[in-house]
Amino acid sequence: MSFGTLGWIEFFDRSSGDESEFVWRAVVDVTSLLPQNDSTSCSCLFGIRNYSGWKPVVETRGLPADASEVVRCQATDENYFFYSATWLTWSDILAIPWQESVVDHFVHRYRQNAEGELIRIGGFVPNDRDRYQEADVWTDSDDCGICICKVERITRREAAWAAFSRAFALMRFFARIHGNDGVRLVIWFGE
């Protein structure tokens, strides 16, 4: 079953000068920048459809109690089914052990190019996934010819960085202005 990834980047606005008026402000709707139906990246970071057994960076924390009004309204819209709301700050992202790895739930498929290099062409989850172990390698064929299948480890960087890179780049920008704990990605999932 497919799922959508929705969210906003918020920053902590201290511009009023009066501490009692400091608030989180929704600044960028990043839904169009986030991976859709990507269990690999979402399991690595948030534990959503965690087939590979990652220890999530942040479990479902719920919406922040001090979330901006825009975020609260969208994430609790009764016309849609949303679940597993959570959030992480730029500090949380900086603390991620990007080289940590697990055996990927997906079997990786490769094809050899003219120079003999293996080029990854995709992946799949076999019906009998439990019979395969890390480092298993075999050949298979499809409409385009012979391919090599491998059960491999995947790092957090491989699993999530590219999928979230645009949202992370925006967060890095706002963190320079508002501090590492003054910017966060608030995210939730929908069917």
CA distance 88 to 57: 9
Pairwise pLDDT comparison (116 vs 94), residue with the higher score: 94
Radius of gyration of the chain (CA): 20
- Do 95 and 111 lie in a common domain? no
**Do 74 and 15 share a structural domain?**
yes
Question: CA-to-CA distance for 143 and 156, rounded, in angstroms?
Answer: 32
CA distance 5 to 32: 9
Contact 169, 9 (CB under 8 A): no
Examine the domain organization and report whether 139 and 71 are in the same domain: no
Lowest mean pLDDT among 50-59, 76-85, 109-118, 127-136: 76-85
Query: Are 139 and 55 within one domain?
Result: no
pLDDT tens per residue across span 124-157: 888 887 788 899 999 988 787 889 999 999 999 9
Q: 10 to each of 88, 153, 179, how far by Cα in Å?
A: 10, 34, 12
**Per-residue pLDDT reduced to its tens digit, 151-179:** 999 999 999 998 899 999 999 999 999 99
CA atoms of 45 and 161, how far apart (whole Å): 10
Give the total number of structural domains in the chain.
2
* One domain for residues 95 and 128: no
Pairwise CA distance, residues 39 & 159, whole Å: 9
CA distance 113 to 102: 27
Tokens representing 65? 């109690």
The count of other CB atoms within 10 Å of the CB of residue 154 is 20
pLDDT average, residue stretch 88-93: 96
For residues 77 and 32, membership in a common domain is answered with yes
Full domain range(s) for residue 129 = 105-151
Q: Are residues 42 and 78 in the same domain?
A: yes
Cα–Cα distances in angstroms (integers) from residue 55 to residues 5, 36, 46, 150, in the given order: 19, 21, 9, 23
